[in-house]
Amino acid sequence: MTVSAPHPVPANDDDSAKRRQIVEGARRVFMELGFDAASMGEIAKAAGVSKGTLYVYFTDKHSLFESIVACELRKQGSEKLVLNENDDVATNLRKFGQGYMELLCRPGGGSTVRTVMAIAERMPELGRRYYEEVPATWIKKLADYLQLRVEDGTLKIDNCELAAAQFMTACQATLFLPYIFQVTPPPPTEHIAEVVESGVRMFLAAYSAKA
């Protein structure tokens, strides 16, 4: 199944209040009913618009969900994950890990991830886009930084992309799965910091050139 392109709208209308109103209404319906049970009628009702108005902006619920994912991608942009070349490796890993987990487990952020995971088999291009623009981008950003530290002799790593993914997975331990499966609420900052610190110690024990 392919994702439908949004129905053409007037120029400069992408950020209009009406479009945002519809997207937010759709988000609420998808969260409450799930993708399959959601209908354009329910979405129009939740958004406070007529179905005719809804179809002016979006051809179907696939294009609506694509817009929601696009918003999520902007919120989870890798520019929010800061790496400062003037800081030592441990400090950078702590900041990166903290920012990563606060983005990944932020209040309300799990709903889109759950829905993408649920429909990726039928809409693989959407799942692929989400992966490439969020997790893969995060991994590459950290891997590029690690490569610099390998080149200056601080770290000893054969595969920086693998090492970056390992660190990010360590930061998720006891946090992400309970959150994404709604076992626990979004973890508090202090709990994230505790888990990230453990991940930093493990990472440096494995990859520090002095280890």
The domain spans of the chain are 17-72, 77-207
Q: Is the pLDDT assigned to residue 205 strictly greater than 90?
A: yes
C-beta of residue 42 within 8 angstroms of C-beta of residue 33: yes
CA distance 20 to 24: 6
CA distance 100 to 173: 13
What is 77-207's CATH number?
1.10.357.10
Q: Is the pLDDT assigned to residue 4 strictly greater than 60?
A: no
Q: Is the pTM of this model over 0.85?
A: no
Q: What is the pLDDT of residue 211?
A: 66
Give the least confident one: 23-27, 113-117, 145-149. Answer: 113-117
Domain 17-72, second-level architecture = Orthogonal Bundle (1.10)
Which residue is listed with tokens 């108005």? Answer: 53
Q: What is the pLDDT of residue 76?
A: 66
* Confidence band of 5 (pLDDT split at 50, 70, 90): very low
* Confidence band of 3 (pLDDT split at 50, 70, 90): very low
* Confidence band of 127 (pLDDT split at 50, 70, 90): confident
CA distance 82 to 158: 24
How many other C-beta atoms are found inside a 10 Å radius of the C-beta of residue 171? Answer: 25
What number is the average pLDDT over the span 183-188? 95
pLDDT above 70 coverage of the chain, percent: 89
Q: Is the pLDDT assigned to residue 117 strictly greater than 60?
A: yes
Q: Do domains 17-72 and 77-207 have the same CATH topology?
A: no
CA distance 137 to 143: 10
What pLDDT, in 10s, does the model give residues 46-98? 999 999 999 999 998 888 888 887 777 677 666 668 899 889 999 999 999 99
113 vs 202: which has the higher pLDDT: 202
